[in-house]
Amino acid sequence: MKKHFFSPLYFFVALWIFLFNPILVQGASIKAESSLLHFKTRYFSGEADAPQEGTHRIWLNLTSDQGIFKQLLIGYTAGATNGWDVNFDAISLDAYKPADFYSVNENRKLAIQGRAVPLDPADTVPLGYRALFAGNLKISIDHADGDLTNADVYIQDKETGTIHNLRFGPYSFSTLSGTFNNRFVLRYTDKNLDVDEFKTHSENFTAVSKDQTIILNSAESTLREVSVFDISGKLLYSRTNIGTPQLEIDSIQSGTQILLVKTTLENGYILTRKIFF
């Protein structure tokens, strides 16, 4: 009987086609050369550390203590829309057996999603995931750039009713095995804000560090509460019932590091600033 041998060449050809033409719409293949070019130059090349002006990106991780790791990217950039964009969006290949993590847009599961600029503080992005096993998972910020570098970033858990600020640590949750496309929402406020209102409060608040002293100043409203955390989420300072528009904090004993300052104004708005202490 004649034996048939499978050449490794066929495997690598098939793999190349699979990896570099991942975009499918309603079962029909779409040319991905333009999309691939945008992925390479805008997201996966060295330019990721030096984004183009007007580009704002955030990378989110789904992890577990057992070693699960999946990452997605949301990027606000010129030319993208809030709908399906063949030049910017990439469908998740779901090739990682333990789990998958993606944003959801027009019923597509996206590992990369481009969205329109300017960045709208009221924007929300549905997130979904797949888990092979029941257990505990975490959602966290890997890194961000542009206007998202220091911005508050929230995960809304529609199952528990929780809205968690990822700037203060990962969001841990329990899950059953299965696929869940409607549980989470990425958002940039912890309540529904008017866009102009959000910008006004953000622009009228400053947090600076000078000579081991943190100086907070609000021109819009007095300060109610202030908390200072290190980058790991450890609480270094907390004060409530402040009642003044300015506060100086000189009691933190710390070496040179990045700190997160969470400030609640009397009108209820919460602002977070990252400072170099």
DSSP string spanning 161-178? TEEEEGGGSPEEEEE-SE
Percentage of the residues of the chain whose pLDDT score is greater than 70: 75
32 backbone dihedrals φ, ψ, rounded to 5°: -115, 10
Q: Band the pLDDT of 235: cuts 50, 70, 90.
A: confident
pLDDT at position 52 is 58
Q: Which helix (H) or strand (E) holds 19?
A: helix 8-20
Are the C-beta atoms of 164 and 96 separated by less than 8 Å? no
Q: Band the pLDDT of 2: cuts 50, 70, 90.
A: very low
Kindly give, in sequence order, each residue whose CB lies less than 8 Å from that of residue 119, ignoring residues fewer than 6 positions away: 56, 76, 146, 147, 148
